[in-house]
Amino acid sequence: MRIFKAKVFSRDARKAAIKDAGLCDAATEMDKGQVDDLGGNVWKKRLNKNMHRAIVILCPRRFWLFAYLFAKKDRGNIDDDELAAFKKLAKDLAKSDDAAVAILVKNGDFLEICK
């Protein structure tokens, strides 16, 4: 399965010193079920020795997208409106085809970090 990070996630991960290799390791853990299901193909993964949380969108059998990053010390979780927006994004991505994903990669909106 392919692993992507959103452009804004990439910026925030760089500031938090979270490397792509660590995200690939986290993706392996997610495949093993070590992730919190928020419903609607939206998941929460602990990163960086439990200092940060990532909101990750799953497009089943296709890819994971690291969409949003926040520090545990700054907030405990996302709010209901944010969760609804991530669920809508997950639903929209599930409808997209590989050509649409390729355009997102080409435009720099998605950055592929590992397969």
pLDDT tens, 22-45?
A: 999 999 999 899 999 999 999 999
In a 3-state reduction of DSSP, which class is residue 55?
A: strand
pTM of the model: 0.93
All domains of the chain in start order, with CATH: 2-114 (3.30.2310)
Alpha helices in the chain (DSSP H): 7-15, 20-31, 80-95, 98-106
Query: For residue range 36-77, what is the model confidence (pLDDT) as tens digits?
Result: 999 999 999 999 988 999 999 999 888 999 999 999 999 988
